[in-house]
Amino acid sequence: MIAKQSLHPEHYYDAKTLEVEQTQVFEKSWVFVGFKDQISQNHDFITLQVGNTPVVVQNFNGELSALLNVCSHRKAKLQTAQRGNRPLLCPYHCWSYKSDGALSGVPQNRTDFGLDDLAKKKLALKQFNLASCGNMLFVRVAKEGPRLDEFLGPYFNILEEISNDFVDPVQQGNYHWETNWKLACETVLEVYHVAGTHPETFAKFAKPEVEVAHFNGHTTGNTPLQDAPKKWWAGARKHLKLEQSTSYSEYNHFFIYPNLAIGLTNGSLMSLQTYEPKGTTQSQLNFQLRMMRRVDGGATSDAVKAAIKANFTEFNHTILEEDRLVAESCQANMQSIDSAGILGKCEERILHFHDAWRHDVQPHLPLRD
Ligand code: FES
Ligand SMILES: [Fe+2]
């Protein structure tokens, strides 16, 4: 038999599994935060949940720092939005913090708290490892572990190149899926589902073939585009004065373990998603669309961005909704089924994803088969 076994259904709804994943997968991996250009100004910030840890990545006068997003006073969230521009100041009683997490301001300290420098130091926020690859930022909550370039292996150079190419943000947003985060990731790891799930959308856009490469749980799936979208993009590039990636010109898809997916269309548009667990059977999909840089280095006008947005928002939304429906249908059955599904050769990227996952959780979780 060529096919291999998938994960046991229990690992898609079991609370203990998620608990182990939070510390052994998410907190030990380098997790994608965002692009440097999204927090280039003083006080810009991005927040995200990494395992059990709320994290804020904040710009302090040009210096970027990843800190625990929980106030040391009475545990309020320091930054409550997903992105924004605001000093690192607690909204509850206005305690403020410096780039290394040290307390910088405590209202009424002298009369009501009496915190000296040592006491303030003890109340510093935990700081996490932050590293960049090109224009992309990654955080690791666990103190010890491989460097980002070791973690990414050959994907370091790929991400460095594409993140420096796709510099123009067009749109971003979130979706809520009623699925385990792994099931959500699995929807983007094969094109076997395209004929069944996306007959009117993705099937008209790319051919049902894929060439796969991998390093640990990180994988590539290169799929040739149909002729029509290639023609459309050639015209769009000319009209919008966009460059084309010199390395990627088909539908080039990358998955960076544990939860980052990046699709490039004809070397012109980047569609990026992360899948955050929000419970055993809930996840949040965060997406971004970014365009290739312009030939003349100029900024794309808002009118052009609006046109691209109008064109792709609908397409992106429809495809993601088609994926959500099938994933939620699988999820709904997990609890009533006691045997694992199987994966064909055409689904080998999912096997690499599972291998990396098993490697991380196995010492801490009895695996069902
Ligand atoms: S909880 Fe943050 S200042 Fe009180
Ligand atoms: Fe899909």
- Distance from residue 27's CA to the centre of ligand 1 (Å): 25
pLDDT surpassing 80 at residue 129: yes
- Enumerate the H helices of the chain as residue ranges: 15-21, 117-122, 148-152, 155-165, 181-186, 194-197, 227-240, 302-334, 348-361
Give the residues surrounding ligand 1 with Cβ less than 6 Å away: 71, 73-74, 76, 90, 92-93, 95
Range 64-78 average pLDDT = 98
Strand partners, 44: 85
For residue 339 the two structure tokens come to 């045997």
Distance from chain centroid for Cα 82: 13
Range 38-58 average pLDDT = 98
Round the average pLDDT of the chain to a whole number and report it: 95
For residue 345 the two structure tokens come to 């050769």
pLDDT surpassing 90 at residue 297: no
Contact assessment for residue 266 and residue 276, using Cβ atoms and an 8 Å cutoff:
no
Atom of ligand 1 nearest to the CA of 76: 1
pLDDT band at 88 (very low <50, low <70, confident <90, very high): very high
Residue to substitute in 68, 93, 113 for testing ligand 1 pocket (most ligand atoms within 8 angstroms of CB): 93
All structural domains of the chain, each given as residue ranges with its CATH number in brackets, are 32-144 (2.102.10.10), 150-364 (3.90.380.10)
Residues less than 5 Å from ion ligand 2, measured at CB: 323
Atom of ligand 1 nearest to the CA of 94: 3
- pLDDT for position 310: 78
Residue minimizing CA distance to atom 3 of ligand 1: 93
- Name, in order, each residue with C-beta under 8 angstroms of 315's C-beta and a sequence gap of 6 or more: 201
- pLDDT for position 306: 80
- Distance from residue 220's CA to the centre of ligand 1 (Å): 45
**Would you call 242 helix, strand, or coil by DSSP?**
strand
- Per residue in 331-340, pLDDT (tens digit) is 999 999 999 9
pLDDT surpassing 90 at residue 240: no
